Amino acid sequence: MEDMKHKILDILKEDARHTPEVISTMLDVPVAQVSQAIKELEHDKVIVKYASVINWGKVDKDKVTALIEVQITPERGHGFDSIAERIYLFPEVKSVYLMSGAYDLLVEIEGRTLNEVASFVSNKLSPIDRVLSTKTHFILKKYKQNGIIFEDKEDDHRMPFAP
């Protein structure tokens, strides 16, 4: 059953629109077994959400995405967790990752303008006790996200050249 659940997760990761009937056919197992496995995965919070990957660059919507490197001093008895929680509760924050290397947390936020993002960093993030420094990087263009390439690449119809 565990191997089947992994296969179901792989299928849903590629396209969450697949129905239990389609997955059943793909894996050659009964639909009831697939449906039960999906229910268990949802109940156990292995499947947390079904979401679309959207190329916002093709939509006429103002959106600025920034990645912020945050250095913090861990809290005794809680480490990085309590500070990460304070940060991820802000509605602007889309993702927070504990990192190895030169900084501790990587925070992804979205805003409507560069000034809105800058205001978040200066008025909400930087004043948090134990935040030592921040470094903000604005995403100018997304080429690939979650394994999906956003650019339409034209086929190269030239003849290959070999010396």
Q: Are residues 35 and 76 in the same domain?
A: no
How many structural domains are present in the chain? Answer: 2
The residue count of the chain comes to 163
CA Rg, the chain, in Å?
A: 21
Question: 89-122 pLDDT, tens per residue?
Answer: 999 999 999 999 999 999 999 999 999 999 999 9
- The per-residue pLDDT of the chain, averaged, comes to 90
Domain assignment present for 151: no
The CA-to-CA distance between both ends of the chain, in Å, stands at 55
Range(s) of the domain holding residue 76: 56-141
Q: Are residues 61 and 23 in the same domain?
A: no
CATH at 92: 3.30.70.920
**pTM exceeding the 0.75 threshold for the entire prediction:** no
